Chains A and B, each alone.
Chain A
Amino acid sequence: MENRATSQWATELLRPDKKQRRLELKGRLMTLVSAWVIILTLFSLLYFIASKGVSTFLFDGVPLSQFFSSEWAPTGTPPSFGTLPFIMGSFMVTVLAAVISAPLGVGAAIYMTEIAPSWGKKVLQPVIELLVGIPSVVYGFVGLTVIVPFLRDVTGGPGFSLLAGVLVLSVMILPTITSIAVDTLQSIPRSMREASYALGATRWQTISRVLVRTSLPGLMTGVVLGMARAFGEALAVQMVIGNADNMPTSLIQPINTLTSVITLHMGNTVPGTVYNDALWSMALILLLMTLVFIVLIRWMTRRGEAR
Chain B
Amino acid sequence: MWKKTLATIGSMVLVLSLAVGCAKGNQQGGGAAGGQLTAVGSTAMQPLVEEAANQFMSENPGTQITVQGGGSGAGLSAALNGSADIGNSDLFAEEKQKDPTKLVDHKVFVVGMAPVVNPKVGIDNLTQQQLIDIFTGKIKNWKEVGGVDQKIVLVNRPENSGTRSTFVKYALNGANEYRGKDSIVQDSSGTVRKIVAETPGAIGYLAFSYFDKSIKPVKLDGVEPTNENVYTNKWKVWAYQHMYTNKDGKNKELEEKFINFILTPAVQQNLVEKMGYIPVTKMKVERDAQGNVKEKK
A and B held together in a complex:
yes
Residue positions of A touching B, CB distance < 8 A: 19, 22, 73-77, 144, 149, 152, 158-160, 238-239, 242-246, 253-254, 256, 263-273, 275-276
Given A144-B191, A271-B74, are A264 and B158 also a contact pair (CB < 8 Å)?
Answer: yes
A243 touches B159 (CB 8 A): no
Contact indicator B198/A149 (Cβ below 8 Å): yes
Chain B, range 198-215, C-beta contacts under 8 Å to A: 198-200
Which residues of chain A are near B77, meaning CB under 8 Å? 270-272
Residues of B within 8 A of A238 (CB): 187
Q: Are A244 and B73 in contact (CB under 8 A)?
A: no
**Could you mark each residue 170-201 of chain B with 1 if its beta carbon is under 8 Å from any beta carbon of chain A, else 0?**
00000010011111111100010011001110
Kindly report which residue of chain B lies nearest to residue A241, judged by CB atoms: B184
What's the Cα separation between A75 and B43 when bound, in Å? 21
Among residues of B, the one whose C-beta sits closest to the C-beta of A75 is: B159
- Residue-wise interface mask of B (151-166) relative to A, using a CB-CB cutoff of 8 A (1 in contact, 0 not): 0010000111110000
| Cα distance A266–B69 in the bound complex, in angstroms | 12
Chain A residues with CB under 8 A of B186: 239, 243
Contact B73 A270 (CB under 8 A): yes
A267/B181 contact (C-beta < 8 A), A74-B159, A158-B199 known: no
Q: Are A268 and B181 in contact (CB under 8 A)?
A: no
- Asked whether, in the complex, the Cβ of A270 is within 8 Å of the Cβ of B97, the reply is yes
Assess whether B72 is interfacial by the CB under 8 Å rule: yes
Q: How far is the CA of A215 from the CA of B294 in the complex (A)?
A: 75
Cβ of A242: which chain B residues have Cβ within 8 Å of it?
Answer: 184-185
**B158 touching A244, Cβ below 8 Å:** no
Known: A253-B182, A268-B160. 7 other contacts (CB 8 A): A22-B1, A73-B179, A75-B160, A244-B184, A246-B181, A264-B158, A264-B185
Separation in Å of the A153 CB from the closest CB of chain B? Answer: 10
With a cutoff of 8 Å between Cβ atoms, the chain B residues found around residue A22 in the complex are 1-2
Q: Is B140 an interface residue (CB 8 A)?
A: no
**How many Cβ-Cβ contacts under 8 Å join chain A to chain B?**
86
Tell me if B250 is interfacial: C-beta within 8 Å of chain A: no
Distance (whole angstroms) from the CB of A262 to the closest CB of chain B: 11
The complex places the Cα of A269 from the Cα of B165 at a distance, in Å, of 12
Inter-chain contact B72/A268, CB cutoff 8 Å:
yes
Task: Determine if B73 and A271 form an interchain contact, defined as CB atoms under 8 angstroms apart.
Answer: yes
Q: State which of B160, B194, B200 has its C-beta within 8 Å of the C-beta of A74.
A: B160
The reply to whether B153 and A158 contact each other, CB–CB distance below 8 Å, is yes
What are the residues of chain B within 8 A of A273 when measuring CB–CB?
Answer: 97
List 16 A–B pairs whose Cβ atoms lie within 8 Å, in order of A's numbering.
A75-B159, A144-B194, A158-B153, A238-B187, A244-B184, A244-B185, A254-B183, A254-B184, A264-B158, A265-B159, A265-B160, A266-B71, A268-B160, A269-B160, A270-B97, A272-B77
Q: Contact at B96–A19, with CB atoms within 8 Å?
A: no
Using CB atoms, name the residue of chain B closest to A245: B181
Q: Are B182 and A239 in contact, with the CB atoms below 8 A?
A: no
Q: Which residue of A lies closest to B43 (CB)?
A: A267
Q: How long is the Cα–Cα vector from A60 to B95 in the complex, in angstroms? A: 21
Nearest residue, chain A, Cβ from B200: A152
The reply on B98 being an interface residue by CB < 8 A is yes
Q: Which residues of A contact B182 (CB under 8 A)?
A: 158, 244, 246, 253-254
- Give the distance in Å from the alpha carbon of A271 to the alpha carbon of B2 in the complex: 48
Chain A positions within 8 Å of B181 at CB level: 244-246
Which B residues lie within 8 Å of A245 (CB)? 179, 181
The 4 nearest A-B residue pairs measured at CB: A267-B71, A243-B185, A268-B160, A270-B73
Q: What's the least CB distance linking B23 to chain A, in Å?
A: 25
Q: Which of B73, B96, B183 contacts A267 (CB 8 A)?
A: B73
In this complex, what residue of A is CB-closest to B160? A268
Query: Is B76 part of the binding interface, using a Cβ–Cβ cutoff of 8 Å?
Result: yes
Instruction: Using CB atoms, name the residue of chain B closest to A261.
Output: B158
Contact at A267–B159, with CB atoms within 8 Å? no
Q: Give the nearest-CB partner of B80 in chain A.
A: A270
